[in-house]
A = this chain, B = another copy of it.
Amino acid sequence: MSLREKKKIETKNKIFEVSGRLFKEKGFENTTIDEITKEAEIGKGTFFNYFPTKEALLLYFVEQKDELTYSLIEIETARSIPTKDKIKNLLVFLAESYETDKELTKLLIFEYIKYIRSTGLKSGEDQSRHHRLSKILHDFLEDGVKKGEVKGGIDVKIAAETLTAVYFHSVMVWLWSENDYSISEDISGMIDLVFEGIGS
């Protein structure tokens, strides 16, 4: 590895380290680029050589967290249990992983939307939460059909989307609710309902 590459990595790490600390200390909005660059002992312009915007930095944290979460999930859900339980476990686990820090999650979702708004989810490049989750659910459901636990006649794709919808909606409502209720029950109830159907 050349000297240049070493320095680059070093600088990027320094920015992470410092900004991570500052964000925790005083929040994202109250931390300025000037502060970060001063603490990291680099010029202001240098920051923008590594991250195009302040938000891009935040986004990196999101990606890292997601990476970890999804890898955990894939292990966890490999167990062979009833399809419905598997789906419940998955969605509840995901939801609970946000439960630790409501404010941060709000911020991240917000920045995420801001991001996809400006970039427009270019050409499948971004396998975003949505597609990823949807795909996993899709697999679960197909498996469920094979095992006879899910109706054979349904469109698995639409079913996966519906469950994804239920999940995201629950998280959103929970995030912006004042009182701290358990999101798990909510999701669980909706999944039951989707399995049973509401038509008579």
Contacts and interface: CB of A to CB of B under 8 A. Distances in A.
Interface of A: 84, 106-107, 109-110, 113-114, 116-117, 120-121, 123, 130, 141, 148-152, 154-155, 158-159, 161-162, 164-166, 168-170, 172-173, 176-178, 186, 189-190, 193-200
Given A154-B193, A155-B193, 11 more contacts: A121-B176, A141-B198, A150-B198, A151-B199, A161-B186, A161-B190, A162-B166, A165-B168, A195-B197, A196-B197, A197-B198
Which of A120, A141, A148 has most B Cβ within 10 Å?
Answer: A120
Q: Tell me how many chains of this kind the complex includes.
A: 2
Contacts of A170: 165
B195 A196 contact: no
B200 A151 contact: yes
A193 B158 contact: yes
Nearest to A167: B165
A109 B113 CA distance: 10
A151 to B, nearest CB: 5
A198 B194 contact: yes
Nearest to A189: B158
Most B CB within 10 A of own CB, among A116, A150, A193: A193
Interface pairs A-B: 6 shortest CB-CB: A197-B197, A165-B169, A195-B199, A165-B165, A151-B200, A158-B189
A143 to B, nearest CB: 13
Contacts of A116: 176
A199 B150 contact: yes
Contacts of A199: 84, 149-151, 195-197
12 contacts: A117-B176, A121-B177, A141-B198, A150-B198, A151-B198, A158-B186, A158-B189, A162-B166, A165-B169, A194-B194, A194-B198, A197-B197
B121 A198 contact: no
A198 B199 CA distance: 12
